[in-house]
Structure 1
Amino acid sequence: MSEINSISARKSQHTLSLTDSELQRVGKLIYKRAGIVVNDQKREMIFNRLSRRVRSLAFTRFSEYIDLLESHSEHPEWQNFINALTTNLTSFFRESYHFPVLAEHARLRGSGYRVWCTAASTGEEPCSIAMTLDEVLGASVAGPRVWASDIDTNVLAKAEAGVYRLSDLESLTLAQKRRYFLRGTGDNSESVKARRELLSAIHYQHLNLLDEKWSVPAPFDAIFCRNVMIYFDAPTQQRLLQRFSRLLKPGGLLFVGHSEHFNYSHIPLRLRGQSVYELTETTR
């Protein structure tokens, strides 16, 4: 009986396929909602991630799932759709060369320093920013220094919980581990939790960078938008860069990913160092 069920399950799995037209419809939907550009090279990834949602809703075709999204612009499934198709590769002090630049910039500007992390993911990046600022400026007495947002509600929930594997902290010094994290005991001995003091330095919120309005406490001394704009087309990148420049204080910094390079003459951002841009004039 188990072998028959196994064959039946495999057969059922193979009957679900993502056609060219369905892929195009998915591409239009995720571009409109999140600005993400997908192509045929990402067909397998899209199939693997969305097929779980298709099956969980008892649909037999992707077109039925897409019909649901297209016919109900405020359907709760939209957030599951976005969560499934966003990429959340992150780690503590990823692209580590940025953090000495951030530390020196904060040291020169002093108290009141504020950063927006636009792709918080599961919290490693905003925690790295908060640790850097704490080490340079000391504990904040005026509330969170780091405003951290993401379009994916699942990863935000993990970020707010602040629980990680012990192995995730390999890039931290022993002093940082002891100062900012608590190690679990017993069955949780391979897990750590961010200390309350670290989490209190970060404000997490759900935010879509394509929204017409951003509810963030601008202006900022620095904005991190790393490894995000590579998923957007050029017009979307330009709009975001222009908006970021309006939210930076004079001399503020924009940190982007190592493979992201921009050179738009009408946007007042000049390359200052490795994937770090500086606001060259006040745009407000």
Structure 2
Amino acid sequence: MEENHNQRIPATTMSDEIFALFSEFIEAEIGIKMPPAKKTMLQARLQKRLWKVELSSFDDYYQYVFSPEGREYELPNMIDVVTTNKTDFFREPKHFEILTQRIIPELLAREDAERQMMIWCAGCSTGEEPYSLAMVLHDFAEQVRKFEFLILATDISNKVLEKARLGIYDEEMSAPIPASFRKKYLLRSKDDNKKLVRVVPEIRSLVKFRKLNLIRPDFGFRENMDIIFCRNVIIYFNRSIQEQVIGRICYYLNPGGYLFTGHSETLNGMRLPIKTVAHTVYQKEMDVPLSEQLPIITLKPAEMFVSERPTIVRTVLGSCVAVTMFDPQHGVAAICHALLPESDNLSKHEEEKPNSYKYVDSVIPLMLKKLRNYGVNPQDLEVKLFGGADMLGARTGKIGFQPVGKLNIDAVIQTIQSQNLRLKVSDVGGISGRKILFYTHTGEVLLKRITLRTAYNSPAIE
């Protein structure tokens, strides 16, 4: 649909209530801080989407975005306009000097230097940073020592990834690129009126672009990285999310590998297995105990996590329940934080939709489906169940005003039995909340009971 500027539908001002809903979702889903001071900015960015989908109020737009149709067609567009995509070629050039003069020679001097070097550019935006890296490394390989490398570039925005893959830019944007590199690695448009340049195919072939959300628990990488650039990305996250993201990034960094961050970002005070080697340049320590390397993620209500990567998953339970699954043969684990079924009809749940993770009758089959993709036999799983406390005497009128926790316990046990799973351990009921730590590489669960007062004040409790 083409946008008709003369027939735009005027939108009302975004209410504080709708802003709060958008803000909560954006921080939870993308990690970007959205305090009240950013309401005007958010309203201006979303206004364009209202015009595009021909809606006249932000209330209607919110309802549409989170409808089944909106989640599929509009939510990606909303994420695109919300994310910030400021980048340049050869930004923070000192990093490239350190890379070629110190880090690459050191990595090549190691015993396993014959293999392909893996570099990850996180938050790559429209591609200027990974292409800058590719130019530098390609030139180094030609001038100093030939070696093979591959750059993985990721971003959450489909729109910027499409532009990055094309590698076409306004000619004026290429000004920061060294003149010798412009001549060697850029093609000028045959149409002089367009003033466009394009990165040469040889350099484009060295960069693989992929969509990735940095605040997701598992990045899905099959191998670790030697060098990671994550520059001017975490500044948009709150401190807690920053530490979780960098912790997971460090986990995917090889021992002795290097992490580059932005000059305006600080990792001071974070518990990370890295040491500073230059300003905003860090090296992962060579001999770090696995327990100190493990990324720690927090599982919130209505979330699920499945991975073959060793991870510590923590969650806090009140009347809700957590189910853990572990296959010792394949080293794959899964955990969910859920509650009683939404309905008795599983088919009513939309498979793979986030809301389906909320209910035990749909999330447990989804966990099993994902585990089967790793070759897991459900009969080999160690299944454990926790939670279901009678918090604050909460009752539901659905089934004779029974305690909510008991209903959750009964529902999950019924679902486990319907899937022919064997429950190995359970710690449920009572009046105390539970904080659990799940170690996905061993299946071990550490449990700490929390008092009624502590549980009541905890924002993670249902």
Structure 2 length normalisation: TM-score? 0.56
Does the Cα contact within 8 Å between 1:226 and 1:256 map onto a contact in 2?
Answer: yes
> Which of 252, 273, 280 is the equivalent residue of 1:275?
280
What's the % identity of the aligned pairs?
Answer: 31
Give 5+ residue unaligned stretches, structure 1: none
SS at match of 2:66: helix
Shift in Å at residue 169 of structure 1?
1.2
Distance 1:140 1:218, change over 3 A: farther
Larger mean Cα displacement after TM superposition, 183-192 or 74-83: 183-192
Q: Aligned partners of 1:135 and 1:108: how far apart in 2?
A: 17
Give the aligned partner of residue 79 of structure 2: 82
> Which of 196, 200, 212 is the equivalent residue of 1:207?
212
- Between Structure 1 and Structure 2, the one with more strand by share is 2
Deviations 1:221-254 (A, max 9, x none): 1111111111111121111111111111112111
> Which of 45, 51, 64 is the equivalent residue of 1:68?
64
The one-letter code of the counterpart of 2:104 is: A
> Which of 12, 26, 38 is the equivalent residue of 1:42?
38
- The alignment status of 1:28 with 2:24, answered yes or no, reads yes
Q: Aligned partners of 2:270 and 2:84: how far apart in 1?
A: 30
Shift in Å at residue 188 of structure 1?
4.9
Give the aligned partner of residue 135 of structure 1: 139
Distance 1:269 1:141, change over 3 A: closer
SS at match of 1:83: helix
Distance 1:217 1:182, change over 3 A: farther
Shift in Å at residue 55 of structure 1?
2.1
Q: Aligned partners of 2:59 and 2:26: how far apart in 1?
A: 15
Aligned length: 275
Shift in Å at residue 211 of structure 1?
2.1
- Between Structure 1 and Structure 2, the one with more helix by share is 1
Give the aligned partner of residue 171 of structure 2: 166
Shift in Å at residue 140 of structure 1?
7.5
Larger radius of gyration: 2
Shift in Å at residue 257 of structure 1?
1.1
Q: Aligned partners of 1:251 and 1:166: how far apart in 2?
A: 38
Give the aligned partner of residue 106 of structure 2: 108
Q: Aligned partners of 1:199 and 1:68: how far apart in 2?
A: 38
Distance 1:175 1:250, change over 3 A: same
Deviations 1:197-238 (A, max 9, x none): 000010011111122321335311111111111111112111
- The alignment status of 1:239 with 2:283, answered yes or no, reads no
Structure of greater relative contact order (alpha carbons < 8 Å, 6+ residues apart): 1
> Which of 124, 127, 146 is the equivalent residue of 2:128?
124
Structure 1 length normalisation: TM-score? 0.89
Give 5+ residue unaligned stretches, structure 2: 295-462
Does the Cα contact within 8 Å between 1:92 and 1:168 map onto a contact in 2?
Answer: yes
Q: Alignment RMSD, CA only?
A: 2.2
Q: Aligned partners of 2:12 and 2:51: how far apart in 1?
A: 9
Give the aligned partner of residue 198 of structure 2: 193
Shift in Å at residue 38 of structure 1?
0.7
Q: Aligned partners of 1:70 and 1:204: how far apart in 2?
A: 27
Shift in Å at residue 189 of structure 1?
5.3
Q: Aligned partners of 1:187 and 1:47: how far apart in 2?
A: 38
Distance 1:107 1:273, change over 3 A: same
Does the Cα contact within 8 Å between 1:113 and 1:145 map onto a contact in 2?
Answer: yes
Larger mean Cα displacement after TM superposition, 241-250 or 78-87: 241-250
Distance 1:65 1:50, change over 3 A: same
SS at match of 2:81: helix
Q: Aligned partners of 1:218 and 1:192: how far apart in 2?
A: 34
Deviations 1:81-130 (A, max 9, x none): 11010000000011111111122211221253221001111110000111
Does the Cα contact within 8 Å between 1:221 and 1:248 map onto a contact in 2?
Answer: yes
Larger mean Cα displacement after TM superposition, 244-253 or 147-156: 244-253
The one-letter code of the counterpart of 2:285 is: T
SS at match of 2:169: strand
